[in-house]
Amino acid sequence: MQTQQKVIFISGSAKRLGAAIARFLHQQGYRIVLHCQHSLDDARTLQNELNEQRAGSVALVIGDLCNHDDLRRLSTEILAAFGRLDGLINNASGFYPTPVGHIEEQDWNNLMGSNAMAPLFLSQALSGELKRRQGTIINMVDIHAMRPLQQHTVYCMAKAALVNMTESLAVELAPDVRVNAIAPGAILWPSSEVPEQQKHDVLEKVPMQRLGDTDDITEAVNFLINANYVTGQILKVDGGRSLSGNGPF
């Protein structure tokens, strides 16, 4: 397969959506560079699982996306892993509430760092190689970048910045690199326990009346990787939730 020679880097790919994207793209024949910061056991397990399927096809880099020194080192290691890079998927994301009155500088650094700063500096550092390969960047944004989630002001601001970055880079890196984003809705419940009533309230706002799943996201990734005349677009994968009502979710 032609894709067997192509390489994709996925930030935050030890588990959940990042791991699902890695498994899908690996199945399509891509070589994968995984990334984690704290979830090393999960990342190693996934790396071993995929390398057992196709030896030497998956590498792993480890680092803090909110640290500029780590970002510079990671960029070098990503390129060194297989000697090329064809796609960058900025998937890693900090997410937690920041009610007004309780927002601290560390919240700003964590949420803006993982959701906006890291995608920008990774895209900048890797843009030369992506241009050489006529590659692509896919950013994982959020429907709440367009319509805010209550008590998550900093997170929503960060994702809004990432939406704007997607559109800006699509212009600046054209015609060599296509830059798009996926805005998931209710795909996976948060890792922390979510009360049943809260789940019910969320799904009531979804016209499709159900939770999405990781296949919905991997299909969107597959489309954007292969859609050679699509750039600067924000693909909402939310079961229509962003169409329901006015005001914040």
**48-59 exposure pattern, b = at least 16 Cβ within 10 A, e = fewer:** eebbeeeeebbb
Our answer to whether residue 96 is catalytic in this structure is no
Residue at 153: amino acid letter? T
pLDDT at res. 249: 47
Residue at 123: amino acid letter? S
How sure is the predictor about 247, in pLDDT bands with cuts at 50, 70 and 90?
very low
Q: Does 61 have pLDDT greater than 80? A: yes
CB-based contacts of 69: which residues, under 8 Å, 6+ apart?
Answer: none
Q: Does 44 have pLDDT greater than 50? A: yes
What is the C-alpha separation between 229 and 248, in angstroms, rounded? 33
pLDDT at res. 212: 86
Active-site hit among 30, 96, 155, 229: 155
Domain 2-237: CATH architecture, name and number where available: 3-Layer(aba) Sandwich (3.40)
**102-131 exposure pattern, b = at least 16 Cβ within 10 A, e = fewer:** eeeeebeebbbbbbbbbbbbbbebbbebbe
pLDDT at res. 203: 76
What is the C-alpha separation between 215 and 119, in angstroms, rounded? 23
What is the C-alpha separation between 139 and 232, in angstroms, rounded? 11
pLDDT at res. 192: 61
Sign of the alpha-carbon dihedral angle for 2, 49, 82, 127 = positive
Question: Average pLDDT of 27-53?
Answer: 97
- Per DSSP bridges, beta strands 7-10 and 87-90 are parallel
- Using a pLDDT cut of 70, give the percent of the chain over it: 94
Provide the mean pLDDT of the chain. 93
pLDDT at res. 102: 97
What is the C-alpha separation between 203 and 82, in angstroms, rounded? 42
pLDDT at res. 246: 46
Q: Does 132 have pLDDT greater than 70? A: yes
C-alpha torsion 41→237→57→67, nearest 10: -50
